[in-house]
Structure 1
Amino acid sequence: MILADKIIKLRKQFGWSQEDLAEKMGVSRQSVSKWESANSIPDINKIINMAEIFGVTTDYLLKDDIETIQSIDGEIEPEVNSVNLNQANRYVEIKDQISRITVKGVLLCVCSVVPLLFMLSMAQTEQMNLDSKTATVSGIITMLVMVALAVSFFVRTGQFSNEIYSIEKDDFELEYGVRSIFKEKLQQITPSYHKKLSISIGLFILSIVPFMYVAINEGTSDLILKMLCVMFFMIATGLYIIVPASAEYNAYSLLIKEGDYHPRNKEENKKIEALAGFYWPLLIAIYLGWSFWTMRWDVTWIVWPVGAVLFAALVGLMEMITKDRE
């Protein structure tokens, strides 16, 4: 492997652009581009500086017959998994399948309370010969069935874990030319992604309007319950739009290691994932416990918007603490 290929390999392994490496070495981006295209060779001082930046030996950079990365302290770095175009396309395809399965489970969870609210509204006006007790029992049973179906969808996503593990959990580098293909694809879908994101956020914000309008105008309790159903349907629609779009956008971003998947954001994302893994199950437990204890499902839904705002605040606090330490 020649010096030009080694520079490309190391730079991509660190997740740096040509501009990033040029800035660290105090040279122009054009110089790095010439080195990587083998149109010029850096002088010995630049090679020594480059070796220090990458944490490798000068022998590794200068000797074409040494292809295994060797760090300065003599330890051999593990080989980075190489991902070709077919593997990258397969990864995006799998992430799309996972998102379509996941969104079904999410929609079932979000809408699971709708039958209960609807039956309670029917009981309020004594329609369908429903009393409040029958409506509550029937609604809860329906809700539990929907949640069980949702869990089955979430479990199904585990079948893809082995196929995507090497990309999501291990260090990898894209083969030559693959990164530019997926960078172009990311640029193509970005306008559509932001459009869908704005529509979804709009639905989330506006979902509370029907309920607020009826509540402010002192609407009947059955109408308030029906407006809550409308609110959950609007939230579900927003999720149906944004979940697959986000999955595709994030898959491309991870492959080219940009945005939230840039190496400098990797540790921060791990902390957020750890927080989410603890926070959301706890919130679900609080919601279900409070709901079953009081049987006021028309009130306990407030846990979700409050919980979402609190989670965003906690993430922001974590970022502030991290920046202060740096």
Structure 2
Amino acid sequence: MILADKITEERKKNGWSQEELANQLGVSRQAVSKWESAGAVPDLQRILQMSELFCVSTDYLLKDEMKAENITYHESTESYAEPLKKVTMENANEFLDMKRNGSKVVANATSMCISSPILLIVLVTMAEDDVFHVSESLATVFGCVFLLGMVAAAVFLFITYGMRESHMEHFEKECFETEYGVSGIVREKKDSYEPIFIRGTAVGVVLCILAVIPTIIAGAMETSDYCCGLSVGLLLFILAIGVNLLVRVGMVKSSYDTLLQ
């Protein structure tokens, strides 16, 4: 296989168009087209750049007789290593589905932690204002039980999710190589998800900012302790919703980025 064929093959393995490869190398698309048609030969600097981009050795690119299975090369140790693990479309879909479902679990668990003190705050302020004739000690007990129960449930969700995803943690901790066409399909899915990510992030950030408004109003109106407690509870509730949105869309977006690393 000659250099032109190797450039074409490695580009397609990564799911890049000629224009995308050209942008990464700082050349025109026409230059890449000439290289792949054997109408021109890239200079040494471009060879080195492609070696790093494709994760192959310069020897592999320049020597026609060298086969692909021997190409993984680490410049830091100046030695060849085992070929990277191949990721199929099935593997990629499984990882994306796991992250999509897991984002709901992690987001809900995070919201539970944020909202866990709400009942304690409301009950204690009710007891102080003698709203429902509940003693302060009893209100504290009920509030603490609710708080600890919510936190315990959230921790359970975190742990079970972590155990379920452990068999796919190599996606985030190890280098891998996607099979031909996988990167292109994942990139299309990422592009279609981008509007959802932008909208979810925007709404989440806005909610986090607006969450403090009830507390500001209660403070400005110099309301009773009970109303102040309700305003703090509302603050935490709105904040929990905003963070929930941010975690959900962020985890899904990061799953696409992981596969396209």
196, 200, 203: which one aligns with 1:196: 200
Q: Does 1:69 align with 2:40?
A: no
Choose which of 61, 85, 95 in structure 2 pairs with 1:81. 85
- Which residue number corresponds to residue 231 of structure 1? 235
CA distance in 2 between partners of 1:179 and 1:117 (Å)? 49
Give the match for residue 6 of structure 2.
3
Q: CA deviation at 1:137?
A: 2.3
Secondary structure at 1:128 match in 2: coil
Larger helix fraction of residues: 1
Deviation string for 1:267-301 (max 9, x for gaps)? xxxxxxxxxxxxxxxxxxxxxxxxxxxxxxxxxxx
With over 3 angstroms needed to count, the CA separation of the structure-2 counterparts of 1:21 and 1:229, relative to structure 1, is closer
Letter in 2 for 1:66: K
Alignment of 1:36-55 (within 5 A): 38-40=36-38, 42-43=40-41, 46=42, 48-53=44-49, 54=51
TM-score between both structures, scaled by the size of structure 2: 0.83
Structure 1: distance between partners of 2:131 and 2:98:
46
Structure 1 CA distance for aligned equivalents of residues 13 and 132 of structure 2: 70
* 1:90 to partner: Cα distance: 0.8
Contact 2:113 2:150 in 1 (8 A): yes
Equivalent in the alignment of 1:28: 28
- Structure 2 CA distance for partners of 1:103 and 1:11, relative to 1, 3 Å: closer
Q: Number of aligned pairs?
A: 248
Q: Retained in 1: the 8 A contact 2:13–2:179?
A: no
Q: Deviations over 1:49-70 (max 9, x none)?
A: 4443326233554324422116
Report the Cα offset of residue 84 of structure 1. Answer: 1.5
Moved more, 138-147 or 46-55: 46-55
CA–CA distance in 1 between the matches of 2:137 and 2:72?
A: 72
TM-score (norm. length: structure 1): 0.68
Following superposition, the deviation at residue 6 of structure 1 comes to: 5.6
Alpha-carbon distance change, 244 to 59 in structure 1, aligned in 2, over 3 angstroms:
closer
Contact 1:48 / 1:58 at 8 angstroms: preserved in 2? no
Matched, 1:256 2:257: no
Unaligned runs of 5+ in 2: none
Counterpart for residue 219 of structure 2:
215
Matches of 2:81 and 2:13, distance apart in 1: 11
> Is the CA contact (8 Å cut-off) linking 2:205 and 2:242 kept in structure 1?
yes
Q: Please name the residue that 2:177 is paired with.
A: 173
Q: In structure 2, what residue type is equivalent to 1:172? A: F
Counterpart pick for 1:141 among 145, 166, 173: 145
Residue identity in the other structure for 2:6: L
Question: What's the CA shift string for 1:110-139, capped at 9, x where partnerless?
Answer: 111011011112212323331112212221
AA aligned to 2:31 is S
- Distance change (3 Å), C-alpha of 1:201 and 1:70: closer
Give the structure 2 partner of residue 260 of structure 1. Answer: none
Q: Which amino acid aligns with 2:63?
A: L
Unmatched runs of 5 consecutive residues or more in structure 1: 258-326
Highest RCO, 1 vs 2 (Cα 8 Å, sep ≥ 6): 2
Is residue 2:22 matched to residue 1:19?
A: yes
Name 1:318's counterpart in structure 2. Answer: none
Offset at residue 242 of structure 1 (A) = 2.6
What is the identity percentage for the equivalent residue pairs of Structure 1 and Structure 2?
Answer: 24
SS of aligned partner of 1:127:
coil
Q: Contact between 1:22 and 1:29, CA under 8 Å: does it hold in 2?
A: no
Root mean square deviation, CA, Å = 2.7
Q: Which residue of 2 aligns with 1:184?
A: 188
* Cα separation, 1, equivalents of 2:176 and 2:39: 26
Give the direction of change, closer, same or farther, for the CA distance of 1:115–1:33 in structure 2 (3 Å limit): farther
CA distance in 1: counterparts of 2:100 and 2:72, whole angstroms: 38
Any conservation in 2 of the 1:99–1:243 contact (CA below 8 Å)? yes
What residue number does 1:164 align with? 168
TM superposition shift of 1:142: 1.7
